[in-house]
């Protein structure tokens, strides 16, 4: 009987420990960029727009998009927290897409774009949920690193710049957008970085994701 109780106690202990480890791992931030290569990232047209420089993803060239194509969640995210350190050069424009999917070329049709733009001629500034809930204020400067944070949980999107909330948007239920924006809705998918135009130079590093329960 004592042996049976001991085995039961061990089994319960292992179950509790494994549950704790599983919970702990779900709370961890996971890196999407190794700081050395573009392994696990995929780009279609104009691949030279993206390169690795001094531990960053450097964006400079023709219009192109770099999609996360790695093993984390099989590059399929629904509810998550995402953050990246970003630095823009004067006059530059870029963006971070979420809930998108790979395209060979053109502007991604699926998902939302979170704006990266502190001084480009486009008035929609850094932190905008592009074309949906736009930010006119400029919260950070060119030539300086800042942190851009995105949280998606259910239909709610929160965007922070250096821990300041600049967008808190809840998508209406059963939303249907017209024209070319029919796929610009909360769904699921991967992340993408935007190369906007040959004059825009932007750097990304410390790209991290935390998967949230669905």
Q: Which residues contact 91 (CB under 8 A, 6 or more apart)?
A: 119, 120, 121, 199, 200
Q: 1 and 50, same structural domain?
A: no
Q: 66 and 135, same structural domain?
A: yes
Q: 23 and 45, same structural domain?
A: no
pLDDT band at 179 (very low <50, low <70, confident <90, very high): confident
**pLDDT tens digit string along 76-106?**
999 999 999 999 999 999 999 999 999 999 9
Domain residue limits at 15: 1-30
**pTM score of the predicted model:** 0.87
**pLDDT tens digit string along 144-161?**
999 999 999 999 999 999
pLDDT for the residue 23: 36
Q: Which token pair is 71?
A: 């093993």
Q: 99 and 133, same structural domain?
A: yes
Number of folded domains that form the chain: 2
CB atoms within 10 A of CB 181: 12
Q: 58 and 21, same structural domain?
A: no
Q: Is the dihedral of CA 152, 83, 48, 37 positive or negative?
A: negative
pLDDT for the residue 20: 35
Q: pLDDT higher for 15 or 189?
A: 189
Q: 117 and 20, same structural domain?
A: no
Q: 106 and 139, same structural domain?
A: yes
pLDDT for the residue 11: 44
Q: 12 and 62, same structural domain?
A: no
Q: Which token pair is 67?
A: 């999609």
Q: 73 and 138, same structural domain?
A: yes
């Amino acid at each position: 009987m004592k042996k049976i109780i001991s085995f039961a106690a061990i089994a319960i202990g292992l179950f509790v420990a494994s549950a704790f480890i599983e919970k702990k791992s779900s709370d961890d931030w996971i890196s999407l960029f190794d700081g050395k290569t573009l392994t696990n990232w995929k780009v279609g047209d104009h691949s030279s727009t993206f390169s690795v420089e001094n531990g960053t993803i450097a964006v400079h060239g023709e219009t192109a998009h770099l999609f996360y194509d790695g093993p984390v969640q099989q590059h399929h995210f629904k509810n998550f927290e995402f953050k990246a350190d970003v630095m823009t050069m004067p006059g530059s424009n870029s963006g971070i897409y979420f809930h998108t999917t790979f395209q060979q070329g053109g502007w991604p049709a699926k998902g939302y774009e979170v704006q990266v733009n502190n001084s480009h001629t486009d008035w929609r500034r850094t932190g905008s949920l592009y074309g949906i809930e736009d930010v006119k204020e400029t919260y950070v400067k060119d030539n300086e690193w800042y942190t851009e944070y995105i949280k998606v949980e259910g239909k709610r999107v929160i965007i922070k710049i250096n821990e300041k909330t600049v967008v808190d948007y809840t998508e209406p239920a059963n939303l249907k957008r017209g024209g070319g924006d029919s796929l610009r809705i909360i769904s699921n998918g991967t992340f993408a970085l935007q190369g906007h135009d040959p004059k825009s130079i932007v750097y990304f590093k410390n790209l991290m994701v935390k998967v949230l329960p669905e």
